Amino acid sequence: MYSEKVMDHFMHPRNAGEIEDADGVGEEGNLKCGDIMKVFIKVEDNIIKDIKFKTFGCAAAIATSSMATELVKGKTIEEALELTNKAVAEALDGLPPAKVHCSVLAEEAIHAAIKDYSEKRKKAAQGK
């Protein structure tokens, strides 16, 4: 059912955890299946220097969170915004059709963290 890469990222997730003083935090969930992903980013000079995730969900949810963080770590904000759920699924050698929504959640959670980071920067620039 799952590829070896999915099982590896599920059994040995990369970047699991939380960043206490994160520059951006994004959370997305799926009410149907109950999966919840929370992503924390640390940004320096427009580059995602650190990224962590906390995911409550199935094996595919954990694996897609792990892979998505691996794909954007060290990338610029603009490069990270180009991440798609398709790229996450392909990097994991595919997902069963019923689990594709997990890769969508991973993409959305990363984009939400970047949006949070951008909004905080705007407020700081405006002195609010």
Q: Domain residues of the chain, as ranges?
A: 4-121
Tokens standing for residue 89: 């699924």
**pTM given for the model:** 0.94
Catalytic residue (choose from 6, 62, 63, 102)? 102
For residue 33, indicate whether it is catalytic: yes
d(CA 83, CA 46): 16
Mean pLDDT of the chain: 96
CATH number of 4-121: 3.90.1010.10
Catalytic residue (choose from 7, 33, 77, 91)? 33
Per DSSP, 31 falls in state T
What pLDDT digit, counting tens, does each position of 56-87 carry?
999 999 999 999 999 999 999 999 999 999 99
Confidence of residue 128 (pLDDT cuts 50, 70, 90): low
Confidence of residue 33 (pLDDT cuts 50, 70, 90): confident
Of all residues in the chain, what percent carry a pLDDT higher than 90? 91
Would you say residue 127 has pLDDT above 90?
no
d(CA 60, CA 68): 12
d(CA 55, CA 53): 6
Q: Is there a contact between 43 and 23 (Cβ–Cβ < 8 Å)?
A: yes
For residue 58, indicate whether it is catalytic: no
